[in-house]
A = this chain, B = another copy of it.
Amino acid sequence: MYENSKTPKFLMTTKSIRIKDIAKLAGVSEGTVDRVLHNRGNVSIIALNKVNSVLNEIHYKPNLLARSLGRARNFKVSVLIPEPKTDAYWEEVNSGIIQASAEWENYGVTIDPFYYVHDGELSLELIANRSLNAKPDGMVIAPIFYPQALHVFSRLQELGLPYVLFNTNIPESKPLSFIGQDLFQSGMLAGQLMSIGNITREDILILHIGESIKDSVYLMEKEKGFREFYEKNVHHPVSITSINLDVNESLFKQNLEDMVKDKKITGIFVSTSKPVSTVAQIIQENSRQGIRLIGYDMLPENKNYLKNGWISFLINQNPKRQVIQGISHMVNHLLFNKHVPCTELFPLEVITQHNVDSYITSGIH
């Protein structure tokens, strides 16, 4: 038999020790201890040593509640995302902002959303400047347009304003933190899902569909991962064709329909979230149930087609939780001086007909 596990030693908490206690032990005032704890300077080397030697003895855990209450300051953070009206994906994100806003209101933190579009007077850069007027203490940004974003970051760095990025990473901008997914791996996963159970020839279409797809280098990561999966793991004959489509082109729908009608096609992988349902609709209209369709995110439309079986798998990018997490990191930094991870890659969640409801009701997603 085994011995019974005891409560681990380090969990045994005695009465927690306060700044006042440290001050007494070190023979200095509370003010001095505070100065040492936060490296505020103006401390004699001798006092510093006295305090530090006490600090080394004991395991001081500051009371975070008291800390932020004592600071007696209301923080503001601005959140910058693309205009939600254009896309159900950003609508999701926006609802996350609202949720986070309610949550942090209790801690005296105000969250202000700002929305940008590609250019004109609502460009990221202009909106960023506008948001700066509110004198925020930090920013949370989804920087989907690369060149504009760079200007904004250098501006923020000048001002010394901390910012966290989500959705799209721009590593050279050195944000406080980035929240997103590993896109290459996401493509690999899509490949695996596409191939499950298939043992004969496959004809696959990869569709990159969007407004100005040409700039979206990051979608290529997904495609690379997808192709890599097939190269490494699949041994029967496979043909993979990738196509960029602009939703604003006149023949967009017609082109799509022609592709779907092609009897050879066995699977379609759509690299973005909103257009999946369009493809699903066309598949349904043409009764092409043989096609395995894989796409992104549980947008309302997508959920319906998934439940009906016209979409086989969705990979969830968790837009809502990404922004909530981003805001949470920013606030933890501001309010509690907590360390936040510089990159947080979300899990690649596989959504099918039979677990989609469990995601919807769970609330934590």
Contacts and interface: CB of A to CB of B under 8 A. Distances in A.
A45 interface: no
Contacts of A198: 197
A85 to B, nearest CB: 5
A196 B196 CA distance: 7
A106 B354 contact: no
A328 to B, nearest CB: 10
Given A98-B8, A185-B358, A365 B353 contact: no
A355 interface: yes
Interface in A7-29: 7-8, 11, 13, 15-16
B62 A106 contact: yes
Given A5-B84, A65-B68, A354 B188 contact: yes
B354 A192 contact: yes
A61 interface: yes
B347 A192 contact: no
A11 B83 contact: no
B192 A353 contact: yes
A54 to B, nearest CB: 19
Nearest to A105: B61
A106 B63 contact: yes
A284 B83 CA distance: 52
B2 A83 contact: yes
A68 B106 CA distance: 12
B358 A114 contact: no
A346 B325 contact: no
Contacts of A101: 11
A344 interface: yes
A348 interface: yes
A136 interface: no
Given A61-B106, A83-B5, A185-B354, A364 B98 contact: no
Interface of A: 2-5, 7-8, 11, 13, 15-16, 61-66, 68-69, 74, 83-86, 94, 98, 101, 105-108, 110-115, 117, 122, 181-182, 185, 188-189, 191-193, 196-198, 229, 325, 336, 341, 344-350, 352-355, 357-359, 361-365
Leading 8 A-B pairs by shortest Cβ distance: A197-B197, A350-B350, A348-B355, A189-B354, A64-B106, A348-B358, A347-B359, A13-B110
